[in-house]
Amino acid sequence: MGFNRGWGVVLLALLWVSLFAGLAFAGDIVHQDDKAPKVPGCSNDFVLVKVQTYVDNKDDNEYVGVGARFGTPMESKEKHAYRTRVSLSDPPDLCSPPKNKLFGDVVLVHRGNCKFTIKAKVAESVGASAILIINNRKELYKMVCDSNETNPHINIPAVMLPQDAGESLESYLKKGTPVSVQLYSPDRPLVDTAEVFLWLMAVGTILCASYWSAWSAREASLEHDKLLKDAPDDLPDMEGTGSSGVVDINMTSAVLFALIASCFLILLYKLMSFWFIEILVVIFCIGGVEGLQTCLVALLSRWFKHAGESFVKVPFFGPVSYLTLAVSPFCIAFAVIWAVYRRISLAWIGQDILGIALIVTVLQIVRVTNLKVGTVLLGCAFMYDIFWVFISKLWFHESVMIVVARGDKSGEDGVPMLLKIPRMFDPWGGYSIIGFGDILLPGLLIAFSLRYDWAANKNLRTGYFLWSMIAYGFGLLITYVALNLMDGRGQPALLYIVPFTLGTISALGRKRGELRNLWRGEPERMCPHIHQ
């Protein structure tokens, strides 16, 4: 399989890059909850608001705003929301009584020069039915009261619009074109079905990759023992030669992980643009093609054994099987079609197929040899995730991880190194996502646990694989719960996954008196094929 070994460097590079887009993803909403807690008269829950527009009595764009802490709650059903005319305020900031009549209208005003509550009170005093405030930036801002301000007694809805949406409406009104809106806030489902399927996808990927890794290790050991038996005198020592194409992570690699990943993340942050996303798409496609063809060849070789064992020498790639040559054009075409049409609604299917194939292949090639290396690797990843999601705000004034995951300043819908599923039953749409790193890094430890179980001749109940899989699934579940409870704040998935997986294996090992063996990975040096 010279073709696989030839692309090993690409796969390892993608292992690092894949960490830059995880579940640490937040919406475009700025928070100020800590500075302005709920107070009487200013205690509404923050809700997203659909702003359906009608221009010259024809359906137009639907925008998304955010409701304020103050004012009356939004209607939750579209059929209960009245279509109401929109008027521009004069003065635009509405910090003083307007010169024009606004009775019964939704008034459109600019942010700034006075408090949000003052604008809302002025609008209410002249009979406006609601107030739309245009933000001075692209993202949304959660409108709150001052800490010493209580009971503002505002009885109209107040909604913040992003800058581009507000300017679009304002341009129509300045031309004299009639504009009307419907304001309502649909309830989100209690359980996001997309997150359920994404959870199953992540757990299933690690499950398949772990068994493939353990099976490959057993096959390689059988082949190695056969060669030693047939030619014990002439065959050189093959221990650690990597002839099977496997790359073992050592302590140095584990320690350098956080530094290398951080450098790549800063590079992405500083160079984020349309053309840089295009480069990432090309890199993702190269890795996806390698992963897809590796998985397909492994599956098809069961039925086309002769084609899988017959090789031809190809320049640069070395010996390549006929089966690989037959499968590769399909894989390349699949990746190219996805890259060209990646902006259409169903493109997530192709992205997930390429991503899963890549993850499974990397987990089969890259291995953790003992719990010591796994602890250092996941420990570094744990601190890396927390630092770049939370602490990076102190230096960069924004979460670097979230900015990169969103693909800010690129004009794209985020970087491609993630799995995603659309929220099909959510009235707000969007995607539920999980980064490759949130599957790959825990997957390395879980795959090690299965190889250890096979080497130590353990079954599922007495081994570590089943319990580590349960721990991973529970940690990922807690991550999704945290994302839904934290009111849109980005959450580093490894913050929850690492303690569950690493803690479960370590606790079980200590309880069974096998922690030293796990720490050293001693059964890995035994013959893993003794367990049939």
Question: Any idea which residues carry the catalytic annotation?
Answer: 385, 438
484 exposure class (CB count in 10 Å sphere: 0-12, 13-18, 19+): middle
Distance (Å) of CA 136 to CA 22, 166, 419: 29, 9, 33
Q: Give the SS3 label for residue 471.
A: helix
Residue 21 DSSP one-character state: S
One-letter identity of residue 92: P
φ, ψ (nearest 5 deg) of residue 275: -70, -30
The closest alpha carbon to 146, from 59, 256, 36, belongs to: 36
Backbone Cα Rg of the chain: 28
DSSP state letters, 183-194 = EE-PPPPSS-HH
- Decide: 121 and 95 in contact? Cβ < 8 Å: no
The secondary structure of 199-246, three-state, reads HHHHHHHHHHHHHHHHHHHHHHHHHHHHHHHHCCCCCCCCCCCCCCCC
DSSP state letters, 170-186 = HHHHHTT--EEEEEE-P
- 109 membership: H or E segment, kind and range: strand 106-110
Residues 6+ apart with CB under 8 A from 99: 90, 91
Distance (Å) of CA 234 to CA 244, 355, 458: 20, 43, 35
The closest alpha carbon to 28, from 343, 405, 281, belongs to: 405
- Decide: 81 and 50 in contact? Cβ < 8 Å: no
